[in-house]
A and B are shown apart, each in its own frame.
Chain A
């Protein structure tokens, strides 16, 4: 069966420090991968998505970047964190086209930038 791993669960980082969040998927090949950010009590904002290795599309211009070095690995990075980068970050995957766009989410990373 397919599983998705996202870590760490919680992260506290100082302003100006770098960031690396990792997400890996098991049990499926060539998935679409997604990074979302969720502010407290709000909906999800799509940050990046990827349809294949090395293919990254950015939805929101910001202080973050994403990479997909392997088929089932998706990394969210920043060189210098801002206070506004605080939030709940979620990774998700889907299997096009037979999956009908249903997305499966990781447990999330709560990032606090202080």
Chain B
């Protein structure tokens, strides 16, 4: 079953606006990661936040983690048409094989 669940499932915004995606999970984690997938392509790792961190930045990306609520958010600021993609959260629960559990994803469309 999917541990991470993204919200919303789809998001459409204008270029220049900010995009916020949320992820909820169920079990304790070592870290939470966000990935991006362009249509028909493989996933690309964007950012990782450890369980003892609350906020992390990378370029136009800002990730927050609230372990008490078992939730995370990904903020993309000043979005561009090239940001159009699906975004997935994934949790690493320190299991054998470093398995990740992926959410269902948020499909982001940025209109020029």
Which A residues lie at the B interface, using CB under 8 A? 6, 32, 34, 36, 41-44, 46, 49-51, 57, 59, 88, 90, 92, 94, 96-97, 99-108, 110
A44 to chain B: closest residue by CB:
B102
With a cutoff of 8 Å between Cβ atoms, the chain A residues found around residue B101 in the complex are 46
B105 touches A42 (CB 8 A): yes
A103 touches B105 (CB 8 A): no
B41 touches A108 (CB 8 A): yes
When A44-B102, A51-B96, A101-B33 are in contact, do A110 and B42 touch as well, CB less than 8 Å? no
How close is A19's CB to chain B, nearest CB, in angstroms?
19
What is the number of residues of chain B that contact chain A, defined by CB distance less than 8 Å?
Answer: 27
How close is A37's CB to chain B, nearest CB, in angstroms?
11
A108 touches B99 (CB 8 A): no
With a cutoff of 8 Å between Cβ atoms, the chain B residues found around residue A103 in the complex are 43, 45, 90, 100
With a cutoff of 8 Å between Cβ atoms, the chain A residues found around residue B97 in the complex are 32, 49-51, 57
B30 to chain A: closest residue by CB:
A101
